[in-house]
């Protein structure tokens, strides 16, 4: 009997691992798309993250050589700071995220983390150092504990609870019929978009990467959920270098730096108040979004 159950248990583990890998890839798809074949250098080093200073130095990039997408992008994310990318659809925000992950090779300039050129380090060590919180967190048909701990099989219950608290989802989990043992996902309890995102945040907090890439949800959430998510994102960003792809400006007003992209170029940069004072593109985007949000609030109240 033992001889039979052991291999079966082993198969279960393999099955889980394959399933995890597939969902992991699925999760990245939106932001990171299908990766091209990039080879590590023969003598590639392991990336050594000290503070997590990210530097884009005159980066140029084209998916298709006849159509340049990024045209000399330079910016720095000093260790522990948050930089937000805003701009119209197609301006190149997600492309910057994909290049940071080295899913594509820059065609000009360089990207460095703590002075190490991404082309000189292994992709595995690079990708392990970056936590991605996608727009839609994929849940497994398993317990909520499993879903939070995913990617850190060795996590203790204390660590899982601490991550859930930091992501502001612990109280919600305790309100579920079986707490952390409640089955979620398609075949279990279905979670709302905001709850799923907080599971994704807890998962990333548990993984503890020094660098974060956030792809903020485009869809508006209700005000309370939005506030909860913002607080958990803030907690997660403490002490990490963060690049946020923002769709709604209200969520990035306290970023250390905001970059306004247009057609692959940075057309404005600064803090929220500085950009408003410039009365340029950011200021008009802000005015437009504020008016839209007021309209929505009025419609909601009517």
User: What is the DSSP secondary-structure string of 18-66?
Assistant: HHHHHHHHHHHHHHH-SPP--PPPTTPBPP--SS--EEEEEEEE-SBTT
Residue 164: C-alpha distances to residues 126, 167, 170, 174 (Å): 26, 5, 5, 11
Closest C-alpha to 244, from 271, 199, 211: 211
Q: Which CB atom, from 59 or from 202, has the smaller least distance to ligand ATP?
A: 59
DSSP letter for 118, please: G
Q: Which CB atom, from 202 or from 261, has the smaller least distance to ligand ATP?
A: 261
Q: How far is the CB of 227 from ligand ATP (least distance, A)?
A: 24
Q: How far is the CB of 75 from ligand ATP (least distance, A)?
A: 15
Q: How far is the CB of 11 from ligand ATP (least distance, A)?
A: 36
Q: Which residues form the interface with ligand ATP (CB under 6 A)?
A: 33, 63-64, 69, 87, 89-95
Q: How far is the CB of 106 from ligand ATP (least distance, A)?
A: 14
CB-based contacts of 63: which residues, under 8 Å, 6+ apart? Answer: 69, 104
Q: How far is the CB of 31 from ligand ATP (least distance, A)?
A: 8
Q: Which CB atom, from 184 or from 275, has the smaller least distance to ligand ATP?
A: 275
Look at residue 127 and give its three-state secondary structure: helix
CB 170 within 8 A of CB 232: no
Q: How far is the CB of 94 from ligand ATP (least distance, A)?
A: 3
CB 87 within 8 A of CB 93: yes
Q: Which CB atom, from 103 or from 140, has the smaller least distance to ligand ATP?
A: 103
Q: How far is the CB of 59 from ligand ATP (least distance, A)?
A: 13
Count CB-CB contacts under 10 A for residue 166.
Answer: 18
Q: Which CB atom, from 93 or from 196, has the smaller least distance to ligand ATP?
A: 93
Bridge partners of 200, per DSSP, are none
Look at residue 270 and give its three-state secondary structure: strand
The C-alpha atoms of residue 258 and residue 101 are separated, in whole angstroms, by: 20
Q: Which CB atom, from 36 or from 277, has the smaller least distance to ligand ATP?
A: 36
Q: Which CB atom, from 102 or from 170, has the smaller least distance to ligand ATP?
A: 102
């Amino acid at each position: 009997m033992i001889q039979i159950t052991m291999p079966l248990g082993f198969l279960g583990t393999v099955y889980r691992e394959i399933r995890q890998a597939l969902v992991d890839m699925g999760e990245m798809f939106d932001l990171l798309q299908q990766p091209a074949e990039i080879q590590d250098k023969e003598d590639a080093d392991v990336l050594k993250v000290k503070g997590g200073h990210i530097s884009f130095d005159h980066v140029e990039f084209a998916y298709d050589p006849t159509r340049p997408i990024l045209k000399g992008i330079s910016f720095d994310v000093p260790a522990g700071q948050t930089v937000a990318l805003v701009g119209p659809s197609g301006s190149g925000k997600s492309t910057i995220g994909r290049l940071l992950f080295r899913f594509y090779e820059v065609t000009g300039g360089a990207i460095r983390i703590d002075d190490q050129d991404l082309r000189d380090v292994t992709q595995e060590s690079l990708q392990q150092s970056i936590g991605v919180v996608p727009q839609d967190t994929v849940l497994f048909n398993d317990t909520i504990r499993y879903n939070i701990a995913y990617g850190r099989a060795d996590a203790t219950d204390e660590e899982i609870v601490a991550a859930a608290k930091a992501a502001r989802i612990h109280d919600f989990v305790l309100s579920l019929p079986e707490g952390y043992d409640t089955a979620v996902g398609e075949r279990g309890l279905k979670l709302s978009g905001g709850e799923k995102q907080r599971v994704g945040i807890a998962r990333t907090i548990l993984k503890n990467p020094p660098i974060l890439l956030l792809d903020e949800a485009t869809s508006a959430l209700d005000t309370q959920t939005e506030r909860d998510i913002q607080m958990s994102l803030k907690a997660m960003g403490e002490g990490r270098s963060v690049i946020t792809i923002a769709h709604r400006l209200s969520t990035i007003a306290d970023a250390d730096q905001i970059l306004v992209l247009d057609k692959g170029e940075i057309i404005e940069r600064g803090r929220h108040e500085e950009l408003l004072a410039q009365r340029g593109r950011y200021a008009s985007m802000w005015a437009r979004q504020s008016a839209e949000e007021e309209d929505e609030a009025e419609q909601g109240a009517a």
